[in-house]
């Protein structure tokens, strides 16, 4: 029952053409979902506050184009992840503002930039091969309004490079730590910092890395407390969680 219909029913009660008991019966017979829908939908719109991203992998350029069109019709910003220069070229024809973030394999179309989130997000990655996942996280987080500090290529076997960034890392309000292979970086960063830390295993590696399983298991078993893990290569998911944490943060002074 849409609000207009509900209003009509209430008017009929007011005018006496429907008794309260009759109205009650009709309301009680409504599938509660229909009443709930508008409200939840409203909640849904408010809820995460972040426009949904399009997961580009396994979609044809035309499919991505179609979804992009529908999102833009709703006057929302667009983020496409796991995509390519080809898709970008196609989108550019109709949407000259489409930007391709090559390192992140992402496309953004932003008409009204997102409101700035409080706090700072530090994104750290272990090796150069992990950069695509780290950049996916960075581009997504910036799309959501986060201020991002990037620290790339600080693997645990070259500790000094990491230690040189320790103070910078300690200034982050949330940390995303991206690593493949043995997935040890979150433990080390977690031991040096105090912010909430989201670990992202990557499929970087070969042989007994089993496409990221080794890094995933390592991160789940981290000896540093206060670490949680997202799916393998899921830079976007980490950024989304980081944005929900930043939104809770006190404003930056």
For residue 89, the minimal CB distance to a copy of itself (Å) is 20
108, 96 contact by CB (below 8 A):
no
Choose between 6 and 92: whose C-beta lies nearer to a copy of itself.
Answer: 6
Q: How far is the CB of 83 from a copy of itself (least distance, A)?
A: 14
Closest to 66 (Cα-Cα) out of 46, 91, 36, 44: 91
Residues in the chain: 253
Binding to a copy of itself in span 181-240, by CB under 8 A: 181-184, 187-188, 190-199, 201, 203, 205-234, 236-238, 240
> What are the backbone dihedrals phi and psi of residue 70, each rounded to the nearest 5 degrees, phi first?
-65, -35
Query: According to the binding rule CB under 8 A, does residue 40 interact with a copy of itself?
Result: yes
Rounded-to-integer distance, Cα 36 and Cα 235, Å: 33
- Residue 94-133 contact track with a copy of itself, rule CB under 8 A, x = bound: -------------------------x------xx-x----
Q: Is 20 in the site for a copy of itself (CB under 8 A)?
A: yes
Residue 37 vs residues 3, 4, 30, 45, 206: alpha-carbon distances, Å: 11, 14, 12, 12, 48
* Residue 3 or 97 with smaller CB distance to a copy of itself: 3
Nearer to a copy of itself, 94 or 194 (CB): 194
Window 162-181: residues binding a copy of itself (CB under 8 A): 163-167, 170, 173-174, 181
Please give the angle made by the CA atoms of 197, 245 and 159, to the nearest 5 degrees. 20
Quote the least distance from Cβ 139 to a copy of itself, whole Å.
15
From 21-29, 86-94, 100-108, 109-117, span contacting a copy of itself (CB under 8 A): 21-29
Q: From the CB of 96, what's the least distance to a copy of itself, in Å?
A: 28
The DSSP output letter for 69 is H
Q: Where are the beta strands (DSSP E) in 126-230?
A: 147-151, 174-179, 197-201, 227-229
Between residue 142 and residue 161, which ones bind a copy of itself under the rule CB under 8 A?
155-160
- Give the C-alpha separation, 137 to 160, whole Å: 24
Instruction: Show the site string, 54-83: x = touches a copy of itself by CB under 8 A, - = not.
Output: ---xx-------------------------
Q: How far apart are the first and last CA of the chain?
A: 47
253 is a contact residue toward a copy of itself (CB under 8 A): no
Residue 32 found at the interface with a copy of itself (CB under 8 A): yes
Going by the DSSP 8-state scheme, the letter that residue 224 receives in this structure is S
């Amino acid at each position: 029952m849409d609000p207009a219909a509900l209003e009509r029913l209430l008017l009929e009660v007011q005018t006496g053409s429907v008794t309260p008991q009759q109205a009650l019966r009709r309301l009680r017979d409504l599938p509660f979902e229909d009443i709930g829908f508008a409200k939840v939908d409203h909640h849904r719109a408010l809820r995460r506050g972040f426009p949904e991203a399009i997961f580009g992998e396994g979609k044809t350029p035309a499919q991505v184009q179609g979804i992009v069109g529908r999102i833009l019709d709703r006057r929302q910003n667009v983020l496409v992840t796991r995509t390519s220069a080809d898709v970008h070229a196609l989108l550019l024809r109709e949407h000259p503002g489409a930007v391709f973030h090559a390192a992140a394999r992402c496309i953004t179309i932003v008409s009204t930039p997102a409101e700035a989130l409080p706090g700072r997000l530090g994104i750290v990655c272990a090796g150069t091969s992990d950069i695509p996942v780290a950049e996916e996280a960075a581009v997504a987080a910036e799309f959501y309004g986060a201020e991002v500090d990037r620290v790339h290529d600080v693997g645990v076997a070259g500790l000094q490079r990491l230690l040189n960034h320790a103070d910078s890392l300690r200034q982050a309000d949330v940390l995303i730590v991206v690593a493949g292979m043995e997935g040890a970086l979150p433990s080390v960063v977690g031991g040096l910092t105090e912010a909430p830390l989201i670990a992202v295993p990557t499929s970087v590696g070969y042989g007994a890395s089993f496409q990221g399983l080794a890094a995933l298991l390592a991160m789940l078993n981290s000896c540093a407390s206060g670490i949680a893990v997202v799916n393998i290569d899921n830079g976007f998911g980490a950024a989304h969680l980081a944005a929900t944490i930043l939104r809770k943060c006190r404003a930056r002074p």
